[in-house]
Amino acid sequence: MSNQSKKATLLLANGMTFEGKSLGREGTVIGETVFATGMTGYQETLTDPSYFGQIVTQTFPLVGNYGVNSFDPESKKCWLTGYIVREWCEMPSNFRCEDTLDAFLKAQNVVGICGIDTRHLTKTIRESGVMNGAIICGDYDREEMLEKIRAFQVKDAVKSVSIPEAEVFPAVGETRRKVALFDFGYKFNIRRELCKRGCEVTVVPYNTTAEQIKALGVDGIMLSNGPGDPKENVEVIENLKEIMKLGLPIFGICLGHQLMALANGATTQKMLYGHRGANQPVIDRKLDRTFVTSQNHGYAVVGESVNPEIGEVSHVNANDGTCEGVRYKHIPAFTVQFHPEACGGPLDTSYLFDEFLAMMDGEEQ
């Protein structure tokens, strides 16, 4: 940590303060303070649109040791509001390293703080739940800032991160299938996993309608991850009700999983501190196996709210029993809460992309 860094403060909605040093761009930002437990994949975390509106705490104590590069981003920019680390590595070492974490944050206009007790902060969030906070560089009026922090809300998250117009990406090799990938804040590797399996992928805006999907002539639909409260996306949920009537195979990930559940009459709830990291154990009930998964979500589908005539809970979290997947009975569709495309974490569940391809090929699952 550079001695030249300016003083910075993390102020939480409950009044707790953590004094540290400025990292990245100097400034003041307000967001929802969360923690991520991944030991690697910090560049993927920084560029994951699902962190829109959030201040992310890395629980691993040293971040930036392999630097940053132009190959690992999961989107075109950083979407998170702020970044918190215990210590950042000023002299990274890796054959792909192109720059330091601090330089990357400055280039991406991200305000960060380092040198604070991230273990204490993480324990606070685990016990009290996710709460709003602010990273402040320099002096500030405490009461005025607390008022702003407590009034903060993450709004229009999906609309803010989605692309404005459709984009087409060719298959790697021979085109086997055509897929529409809804951009609710999608990670690039979802697209890559489909393309390398012979899919031509058309990434479409979040509010694309059933008629527009039908006009594309695709063989399947991918519902991506994304930020915010799933219940906020009323327009998307109504569109999905019509899209399901097309009879096309559907595969949903994270927010896509939650939106499909809502479109089918189930409900979602906010979690105390969510699942964010690369070490979440998930039980696949059909295979009777436990997989290690990468996750990033603060909301969950209430498993008991899934109508058994419409679908069944296919995966559950081995730690807390929350719903991690649904297989639908009335339509060719399945969804999961975790990230089978993650490369900053385990690769255990990438087989689900093969299942989606098989479903488009008309093979029973």
For residue 186, give the CATH number of its domain. 3.40.50.880
Measured in degrees and rounded to the nearest 5, phi and psi for residue 364 equal -70, 140
- Give residue 343's identity as a one-letter amino acid code: C
Rounded to whole angstroms, what are the CA distances from 175 to 36, 65, 306?
Answer: 37, 39, 36
Residues above pLDDT 70, as percent of the chain? 97
**CATH code of the domain covering residue 56:** 3.50.30.20
In a domain, 270, yes or no: yes
In a domain, 2, yes or no: no
Check if 275 is active-site: no
At 5-41, the pLDDT tens digits run 799 999 999 999 999 999 999 999 999 999 999 999 9
At 207-228, the pLDDT tens digits run 999 999 999 999 999 999 999 9
In a domain, 56, yes or no: yes
User: Rounded to an integer, what distance in angstroms lies between the CA atom of residue 292 and that of residue 353?
Assistant: 16
Q: Are 157 and 259 in contact (CB under 8 A)?
A: no
Q: Same domain for 24 and 111?
A: yes
Q: How many domains does the chain have?
A: 2
154, 175, 208: which is the final residue of a domain?
Answer: 154
154, 170, 194: which is the final residue of a domain?
Answer: 154
Q: Same domain for 78 and 222?
A: no
User: Rounded to an integer, what distance in angstroms lies between the CA atom of residue 326 and that of residue 57?
Assistant: 30
Instruction: Check 114, 297, 341, 343 and give the catalytic one.
Output: 341
| Helix, coil or strand: residue 187 | coil
Residue 282 bridge partners (DSSP): 291, 317
pLDDT given at position 278: 87
Q: Same domain for 21 and 56?
A: yes
User: Rounded to an integer, what distance in angstroms lies between the CA atom of residue 268 and that of residue 228?
Assistant: 12
At 112-151, the pLDDT tens digits run 999 999 999 999 999 999 999 999 999 999 999 999 999 9
Q: Same domain for 193 and 307?
A: yes
Pairing of strands 220-223, 250-253: parallel
Range of the domain at 188: 158-360
pLDDT given at position 346: 66
pLDDT given at position 342: 75
In a domain, 1, yes or no: no
Instruction: Check 199, 254, 323, 343 and give the catalytic one.
Output: 254
Q: Are 357 and 176 in contact (CB under 8 A)?
A: yes
Q: Are 13 and 147 in contact (CB under 8 A)?
A: no
Closest CA to 74 of 358, 294, 325: 294
Largest CA distance in the chain: 63
| Helix, coil or strand: residue 142 | helix
Check if 341 is active-site: yes
Instruction: Check 44, 78, 339, 343 and give the catalytic one.
Output: 339
Rg, Å, the chain Cα set: 20
| Helix, coil or strand: residue 104 | helix
| Helix, coil or strand: residue 14 | coil
In a domain, 365, yes or no: no
99, 134, 154: which is the final residue of a domain?
Answer: 154
pLDDT given at position 341: 86
Give me the residues of the chain with pLDDT under 50, please.
Answer: 1, 3
Check if 195 is active-site: no
Q: Same domain for 39 and 178?
A: no
pLDDT given at position 42: 95
